[in-house]
Amino acid sequence: MDNKFQNFLVYLLGIIVLIFWEMLTKFFHISNLILPSPSTIFLNLINGIENGFYLPHLIQTFMEVFWGLMIGLILGLGGGILLGEIPIIRKIFLPYVLISQIVPKLALAPLFIMWFGFGPWPCIIMTGLICFFPMLETTITAIDNTDLKKVRLFKILGANRFQILFHLKFISGLPYILSGFRVSVVLALVGAVVSEFIGASKGLGSLIIVGQSSMNTPMIFASIVLISVMGICIYSVVVFFETLLLKNFPTVHRAI
């Protein structure tokens, strides 16, 4: 099967599912409150976008995801480099990092709301906290598992520790670090939306809660669609930059 045909099959499956869903709701007269048809959801979405209802919520969630990711990226990368490079720091800090990850982070959300109010900050911090861990783990692994032969080469060439860290360990670990970032991106979306459930008046997550309490099921589905589209877009951008950064690496390391 050639590539075009395979792509066609991918779209075909999606279309079949949507048609089946549409027919299901029509034939069995399923109420919009239980399961709205794709066309109802689509109309709701178009209306909401046209009259500007969804835009501020979309921007809000996007900003939370973005800043949360940045916090997670900086802390995870910085921490990972420190913990990966200096064994004694890893020995002291890693158990506490693990404990902080084992505590269900969403259980901390009420605390964050008490500390930072109902604005975007609790959501950003929650997202950052969730993104941080995969970044940290992959960075530690990448830095710590550098090919010893290459480290020996750098030592023989008289490289200092800083050079070994940034010219060798960081670059050779880049494929792993970036795969950690991809995981972080997916988790960031979950983090932002779920922390909006708990305490936010703006954002796609809060719309879902509003939809639930006002029995506006089409709005819930429309929000889910928007969240998914946003997720796919962010993920694609990350994969694009990843491909760009890894263009010099053997293809085995590449995600797509």
Partner 1 sequence: MSFSENQVILEFKNVGFSYSDQNFIDTFNWKIRVGEFHAFIGRSGCGKSTFLGLASGLTLAKVGEIYYQGERVQGPINEIGFVFQDPTLLDWMTVNENVLLPIKLKRRITNDDSYLVQELLKDLGIHQLRNSKPWQLSGGQQSRVAIARALINKPRLLMLDEPFAALDAITRDEMQELLLKTCRIHNTAVIFVTHDVQEAVFLSDRVCLMANGCIAEEFLIDLNRFRTPEIRYSSDFNQYTLTIKQSLLRNSNQHG
Smallest gap from residue 255 Cβ to partner 1 (A): 16
Smallest gap from residue 185 Cβ to partner 1 (A): 23
Q: Is 157 in the site for partner 1 (CB under 8 A)?
A: yes
Q: Which of 69, 168, 208, 234 binds partner 1 (CB under 8 A)?
A: 168
Q: Distance (Å, rounded) from C-alpha 74 to C-alpha 70? A: 6
Residue with tokens 């209802």: 53
Q: Which two tokens stand for residue 10?
A: 């991918």
Smallest gap from residue 147 Cβ to partner 1 (A): 8
Angle at the Cα of 75 (from 90 to 242), degrees rounded to 5?
Answer: 105
Contact 58, 204 (CB under 8 A): yes
**By C-alpha distance, which of 144, 149, 172 is closest to 253?**
172
Q: Distance (Å, rounded) from C-alpha 134 to C-alpha 180? A: 5
Contact 185, 238 (CB under 8 A): yes
Q: Which two tokens stand for residue 243?
A: 């491909």
Residue 111 or 153: which CB sits closer to partner 1? 153
Q: Is 167 in the site for partner 1 (CB under 8 A)?
A: yes
Site for partner 1 in 170-209 (CB under 8 A): 171-172, 174
Q: Is 162 in the site for partner 1 (CB under 8 A)?
A: no
Site for partner 1 in 46-75 (CB under 8 A): none
Q: Which of 75, 97, 249, 254 binds partner 1 (CB under 8 A)?
A: 249
Taking residues 125 to 154 in sequence order and writing x for each that binds partner 1 by CB under 8 A, - otherwise, the string is ----------------------x-xx-xxx
Contact 242, 229 (CB under 8 A): no
Q: Is 155 in the site for partner 1 (CB under 8 A)?
A: yes
Q: Is 100 in the site for partner 1 (CB under 8 A)?
A: no
- SS3 annotation, 178-196: HHHHHHHHHHHHHHHHHHH
Residue 37 or 146: which CB sits closer to partner 1? 146
Interacting residues with partner 1 (CB under 8 A): 147, 149-150, 152-159, 163, 167-168, 171-172, 174, 248-250
